[in-house]
Amino acid sequence: MSNGNTVVLVGNVTRDPELRFTPTGQATTTFGLAVNRRWQNRQTQEWEEATSFFDVVCWREMAENTAESVTRGARVMVTGRLEQRSWETPDGDKRSKVEVVADEIGPSLRWATAQVTKNERRGPGDGGRPAAAAPRPAAAPAAAGSAGGYGYDEEPF
């Protein structure tokens, strides 16, 4: 990623990942991430803290692996890019938000241990042989345009 839009975050998952499928069967998972920043105030010598909240979006196999592996409260590292998404509410109001589209997600091992289980490679895009296509669950239609819903029709690539 050499486009200057790279972000690395370490924080705690604020809600269990939510796995959905687009109408074409692409897996997508979203979850919240709280990132704390702590510093010492030079005037008062007191420690101060601020928390930033981010929505993280994953696609394809990483979306499925994240939904299986990550739970609320887990401390994770996320690398990816910032992406702005805009929509219009049913009332005609324009909304937008900035999300982190993840390239990699992993457990933070600073205060925890983790056991990693490697999946078989699933297809030619991963450098492996094509796997038999498993039937995908029907897409749960997200309320397109709703502030909390993810109205993705397809992955943003």
CA distance 8 to 6: 7
Confidence of residue 112 (pLDDT cuts 50, 70, 90): confident
Task: Kindly tell me the sign of the dihedral angle through the C-alpha atoms of 146, 16, 156, 64.
Answer: negative
Considering the chain, what is the average pLDDT of its residues? 81
The domains of the chain, with CATH numbers, are 7-126 (2.40.50.140)
Q: Residue 138 pLDDT > 90, yes or no? A: no
Pairing of strands 47-59, 18-21: unpaired
**What would the pLDDT profile of 41-93 be if each residue is shown by its tens digit?**
999 999 999 999 999 999 999 999 999 999 999 999 999 999 999 999 999 99
Answer whether 156's CB lies under 8 Å from 100's CB. no
Answer whether 152's CB lies under 8 Å from 28's CB. yes
Q: What angle do CA 29, 139, 67 make, to 5 degrees?
A: 25
The pLDDT > 70 percentage for the chain reads 75
Confidence of residue 123 (pLDDT cuts 50, 70, 90): low
Q: How far is the CA of 142 from the CAs of 139, 150, 151, in angstroms? A: 9, 6, 5
106, two tokens: 């992993």
Burial of 84-94, coded b for 16+ CB within 10 Å and e otherwise, reads ebebeeeeeee
CA distance 86 to 70: 27
Answer whether 51's CB lies under 8 Å from 39's CB. no
Confidence of residue 111 (pLDDT cuts 50, 70, 90): confident
Q: Residue 137 pLDDT > 80, yes or no? A: no
Has this prediction a pTM greater than 0.75?
Answer: no
Confidence of residue 94 (pLDDT cuts 50, 70, 90): very high
Q: How far is the CA of 42 from the CAs of 46, 49, 52, 116, 151, in angstroms? A: 8, 14, 22, 42, 46
